[in-house]
Amino acid sequence: MSEELHPQVFSNRWTDAVGSSGQGSPRDLCRCIEHGTRTQLPTRFHPEHQDTTAPGWIRLLELIEEAAADGREVFKPLVELTAEQRRQIITLPPTIAELTSVKHLVLYGSNLVRLPPEIGGMKSLEEFTPYTSYRLHWFPYEITRCPSLRRSTVSTRALYGNYKRRPPFPPLPAVAAGIQAVDPENLDPGAWGAAAIRTCSVCDQTIEGVNLRQLWLSLWTSGADVLPLLVNACSTTCIDALPTPAEGYVQMPHTGGPDIDQPPAGRRPR
């Protein structure tokens, strides 16, 4: 008699990373990155502004303050929010830079569309888990300032330029010194990826609007993932100082758009 076969059961690694369901969905639907056989349309940044009067935002500020005060090493703020409050959070506040003791940042299932450059201030960060945050398609270049980051869990298919589908990067504004001045404190997130850009991603100096240059760069930022990074540079000197992109991705900093020639989709680059 043949031995009875039993299905293998896998444990859920994220049971303690999910907040209460409550009423309503904790996140919005996103169709930026197409899957399956559907044709991929040109991409652009999510245009939403963060509502800083929303209860979820106010509660998140409190949670960050508490975590900074007690020096905790694991920070899972979303489990402390209701589903409605989680849906209200589309970015994180700059005060995350105060979380210098946090080693593991868990943002599982978030409604985030962008992260602030201040994430680079989390100097102890070793593990980053924004898994199933399907509206988070890119990351700030400043995440490369986290020297201890070694592990990450990211939904790869949701990323611009991912090796599985190679969806296009949003086109970046054509800005050159002396040609177009912008107010870096009052930007359209749908065009620039943020409502304000204050400092250079490379040298950390204040950016004058007339000198703002944006570029895309794909880099290994941990032992697990190549992430699409948005660079806000203040000069050609800072652009020239950028590292070589990861093998198997566009081999130079670029301005995005559907005309950028990416490597073929399919096999994961090594």
For residue 200, being part of any structural domain is answered with yes
pLDDT at 179: 47
State pLDDT tens for residues 65-76: 999 999 999 999
Counts for the chain of helices (H) and strands (E), in that order: 4, 7
Q: Is 20 inside any structural domain?
A: no
The reply to whether 51 falls in a domain is yes
Helix (H) or strand (E) holding 62: helix 55-70
Structural domain total, the chain: 1
Tell whether 253 is covered by a domain. no
Strands 127-129 and 104-106: parallel
Tokens of 81: 């929010």
* Residue 178 confidence (pLDDT) above 60: no
Question: What SS3 state is found at 204?
Answer: coil
Residue 18 has pLDDT above 70, yes or no: no
Domain that holds residue 99: 25-240
Q: In one letter, which amino acid is 220?
A: W
Q: Give a yes or no: residue 189 inside a domain.
A: yes
Confidence tier at 48 by pLDDT (50, 70, 90): very high
Q: How confident is the model at residue 1 (pLDDT cuts 50, 70, 90)?
A: very low
Residue 1 falls within a domain, yes or no?
Answer: no
User: Do the domain assignments include residue 137?
Assistant: yes
* 105 DSSP β-pair partners: 75, 128
Using 50, 70 and 90 to split pLDDT, how confident is the model at 267? confident
pTM (predicted TM-score): 0.91
Among residues 178, 177, 197, 200, the alpha carbon closest in space to that of 188 is found at 197
In angstroms, rounded to a whole number, what is the distance separating the alpha carbons of residues 85 and 77? 11
- Cα(47)–Cα(187) distance, integer angstroms: 10
Distance CA 123, CA 107 (A): 18
Other beta carbons less than 10 A from residue 162's beta carbon: 24
- Tens of pLDDT, residues 216-259: 999 999 878 899 999 999 999 999 999 999 999 999 999 999 99
Distance CA 58, CA 60 (A): 5
Please return the burial class of 93, using the count of CB atoms within 10 Å of its CB with bins 0-12, 13-18 and 19+.
middle
Is 53 inside a domain boundary? yes
